[in-house]
Amino acid sequence: MKKTVYEALNWASSFLRSHGLEEPAGEWLLRHHLKANRAALLASFHDDMSEDVWLAFKADVERLPSGIPVQHIIGSESFYGRVFSVSGDVLIPRPETEELVEAVLERLEGTERIVDIGTGSGAIAITLQLESPGTEVTAIDLSEKALNVAQENAKTLGATVRFKQGDLCQPVKRECFDVIVSNPPYIPERDRASLAEQVREYEPELALFAGDDGLAVYRRLATELLEHVRDGSLIALEIGAGQGNAVKQLFQEQFPKATIEIRFDINEKDRIVLIDVRL
């Protein structure tokens, strides 16, 4: 039985609502299967869908109650106006991280050496390089699989980024940077059970959890980064909500002369720590 685009979207919305899921996921999947942007989707509301497309779309919608993120079905997520490939090997880029990128871009003059520690999909590193082409960007990740995703994104989007595999700063020994940016794991282990299923079950553990209090990686960074900064370097970190003061204190102890700013995100939660290094 044929369905119009409108009928398919209406069915998906009803199905997702009945399962307590967000209805926009249906539109994302429908646009994916029709290979259409939002304007084209709206313009085609009264068009009939082919049976193959309808059945494939229906099957994907029916997968969503299992908890699988819609981005994993589609295989991509938008970040800072670009489409990045994602998989279960990388964290899905979030809108809050765009604010971290924006905070760094505000400070760039265009010739800085930048390192992104824990790059995942490469969203931060690639965006910074493309938005400020004169910069020299290095991206590090412990996961080889994550780096494969990031390298493919860089190739697809035309970004020039040097990729290194290793633990935090280990792959760039004796190198100094003007900007160090990181969105490290920051979820306390004790919060594991309360996480949304699609995060807990489908996103990489390595990118999520950081010890009992969520600060384990920040403690290491505060110490390790001493060898990789110069006077005037910027350290820009994404943090978990409520961690601002604790992260600020960790870095103030290691960089007593630094000016440290905590910024709040669009949801009024502390989300970014900016450390202006003074040695």
The closest alpha carbon to 82, from 135, 156, 19, belongs to 156
User: Would you say 185 is a known binding-site residue?
Assistant: yes
Partners of 211 in the β-ladder: none
Residue type, 5: V
Q: Is 276 annotated as a binding residue?
A: no
User: Tokens 């869908």 label which residue?
Assistant: 49
CA distance 135 to 83: 21
Binding site annotation covers 134? no
Q: Is 138 annotated as a binding residue?
A: no
Distance between CA 279 and CA 232 in Å, rounded? 8
Annotated ligand binding at 118? The verdict is: yes
DSSP one-letter code for 92: P
* Cβ neighbours around 175 below 10 Å, total: 13
Residue 186 marked in a binding site: yes
Look at residue 104 and give its three-state secondary structure: helix
Token pair of 70, please? Answer: 């819609």
**Residue 182, annotated as binding a ligand:** no
* 232 annotated to bind ligand: no
69 has binding-site annotation: no
Is 256 annotated among the ligand-binding residues?
no
Which amino acids are annotated as binding site for S-adenosyl-L-methionine, given as ranges? 118-122, 141, 183
Which amino acids are annotated as binding site for substrate, given as ranges? 183-186
Which amino acids are annotated as binding site, given as ranges? 118-122, 141, 183-186
